Amino acid sequence: MAFGQVVIGPPGSGKTTYCNGMSQFLSLIGRKVAVINLDPANDALPYDCAVNIEDLIKLSDVMNEHSLGPNGGLVYCMDYLEKNIDWLQSKLEPLLKDHYLLFDFPGQVELFFLHSNAKNVIMKLIKKLNLRLTAVHLVDAHLCSDPGKYVSALLLTLSTMLHLELPHINVLSKIDLIESYGKLAFNLDFYTDVQDLSYLQHQLDQDPRAAKYRKLTKELCDVVQDFSLDKESVGNLVKLIDRTNGYIFAGMESSAVEFSKIAVRPVDWDYYRYPYCC
């Protein structure tokens, strides 16, 4: 059994930067980490990847050979990877014993809520290699500065969560730049906790383009609030991911009742106490 994260999000949301920073953080707390680049368009990697999809297929070659654009090319690449899943499996098998896995996926959002290729790849790996994975969905913090874009981002993350059927955590990325986007209508906690979205109605009503969609917006906000979407940050984020993919239970001998008690506790354990992947 091995544990890891499936890192997804729109283009430019910071997935590769996240994988680079998260791998450094996990290394500092004593975990052996392997980053797997599954983005065939990512040719400027800041980290050393243990597995690189470009050794199997390159987006530029696909676009030239099949006269496809970047979006069609990425769909083709994911389809090709699914059909050659044995290649990826053989690359991952040597890492399973003692590595924590970070999967850096492409940024084309259609791959994760519309097409099935990426999901099929993930599910086949889970089944064949006995993986415990959590989806980490990055959302650019600048979307908080626009109520309409923020609601759209919530709908995207919700659709992706339902499509992938994995433990799912949403993370506001580039939070250090949020002040440069202008003053937020509410405190940051409002956006990270997805608090009462009815308060956004007044903000949206100020925009004449959005006012006529008031009823639709309210219904969409109600849909989002019917689901619980979590976001945390670095240390607490790691702890939350560890709980969702079961990392903290690895190597423990206890009853189902005790596991349940641990699962519902606050996210306050010491991650140094769980060196399963060291």
Token pair of 219, please? 């219904």
Q: Which residues contact 221 (CB under 8 A, 6 or more apart)?
A: 151, 197, 198, 200, 201
pLDDT of res. 199: 66
pLDDT of res. 95: 95
Task: Point out the residues of the chain with pLDDT beneath 50.
Answer: 228-232, 269, 271-278
Give CA–CA dist 204/221, Å, rounded: 12
Please, how many CA atoms are within 13 Å of residue 75, restricted to the half-sphere of its CB?
Answer: 12
pLDDT of res. 189: 75
* Planar angle of CA 46, 229, 37, nearest 5 degrees: 20
pLDDT of res. 276: 42
pLDDT of res. 151: 82
Q: How far is CA 37 from CA 112, 114, 184, 196, 249, in A?
A: 16, 21, 35, 37, 27
Question: How many CB atoms neighbour CB 259 within 10 A?
Answer: 13
pLDDT of res. 227: 62
In 130-187, where does DSSP find H-type helix? 147-164
CA neighbor of 260 nearest in space, from 276, 249, 273, 245: 249
Read off the pTM: 0.76
